[in-house]
Structure 1
Amino acid sequence: MEPPKPFPAEAVPFFREGISLTLSMWSALQMAVENEWGGRNSRARANELCEDIFNWFTQSKEPHYIDDLEDKLDEGLISLNTEAQDGSIGEVAENLMILHEECMEGNYSSIEKLREASTHRDVHSHVRQVMGDDDDTSDSDTNSMGETDSQMMTDASLPDAAPVGMSIDEEPSTNAIEAEDGWTVVGSRKPKGRKK
C-alpha cells in the first residue's frame, strides 16, 4: 500500500470539526467525560484523543489501517477507565476513515450531516465505568445506540451521545432519595395537582 497523500490545507478545519463531531456523538466517550471516569482531566483527555486522531491522519507517513485507528480509540477509552464492548469502536473508526477520505477529496457533505445530527439527538446510553483489573468488574454493559439510532445511522452513521464541551441543561433535582441498593431515585419535577 502506498503512503498517504499529503492532507489538503483547505480541508484541515473541516476535518478537525468532523473528528470532534464524530467523537462528540460517541456515547462511551461522552459518558466517561461527563462522569469524569478518568478523573478531573477527563475532558482534556478526550480533547487529546481528538488531536491524536487528527495528527495520526494528517502527519503519518505510513498507510492508514482501520485496526490501528481502533487501537487508538480503545486506548483513549482505557485512559478514561472505560470499555466499550458494543462494537462502537469499530463503528467510530469506520466513520473517521470515511470522513478522512471525503475530506481528502474536498467533499464535506458528511460534516454537514454531522452538524445537523448533533443538534437533533437524544442521549440514550448504557455505558459503565470499569472499576479495576478484576475480571468480574472489567465487564462493561455498554450500549452506544439510542432509540433513534436507525435515523442516526441514516443521517450520520454514528451512535448518539452528548457532544464534547456540552453539558446537560437540566438542573439537579432537589427531591432525590438514596435507595438501599446505592441507586438514587429522583422524583418528578412537575408540580402535583391539576392544571387550571
Structure 2
Amino acid sequence: MRPLNKKASQVALPLPSSSEWLRLLRTEAELQTITGAAKRIGCARSKVSMLLSGKYPAKTVRAERQVLRVLGSVQCPVLDGETMEGSCCQAHRLRAAGTPPTNNSTAILYWRSCQVCPNNGAIVISVRYSAMTYVASNKEQKATASNTISAEQAAVALLRKMDFDPELLECVSSSESKGQGTHTFIYREVQ
C-alpha cells in the first residue's frame, strides 16, 4: 500500500510477532537443513544462517515477509476459515491481480474472494447509503467518513482520513434501490 506517512504504514500492514517468522524459519531449518530452508524460501544460505544467528546486518522486514509468505499458513475465507499454505495463498493472490476467469466456477470463487481478502493486503471499505448520506467504514481500522455526493467520494474521504493516497481505489460491488444501498471498494497495492 502507498501510505502517505509512517504511522499509516505501521497501522495498515501489521506484521505478526517477530518471533513467529523466526520460529517458522528455525523449524524449517531443523526439518531440512539451512540450505534446504534457503532454497524453499528463495534466498541465499548465508542470509538464512545470519537470520537464525541474529547477526543479519540489515533490516529483516523483507525476509520476515518472505518467510511468512512461503512457510506461514493463512486462514482462507473461501475454505471457510481452514488454513492454506502461504505459497498457495500467494499463487491465488497473483491470479486475482489479473483478469477474472470465465470458465471455472472454483477459480471464479477464489478470484472474487481474493479481491477483498485481508490476506491480500487489501483495505476493504464498505459504503452504505441511507438518509441521503453515504457512510464509508473500515472494520479493521475502525474508521468512518461520510459524504452526500457519492459512494466513491465517501470512500476517498475515508482513505484520506486514514492517510492513504486514493488513486488505487476500486469499486468491486454496488447495489442501490429505494433510497438504500451498499457499495464495496478495495484499496490495495498493485502486485
TM-score relative to the length of structure 1: 0.25
Query: Which one has more relative contact order, counting CA pairs under 8 Å at least 6 apart?
Result: 1
Larger proportion of strand: 2
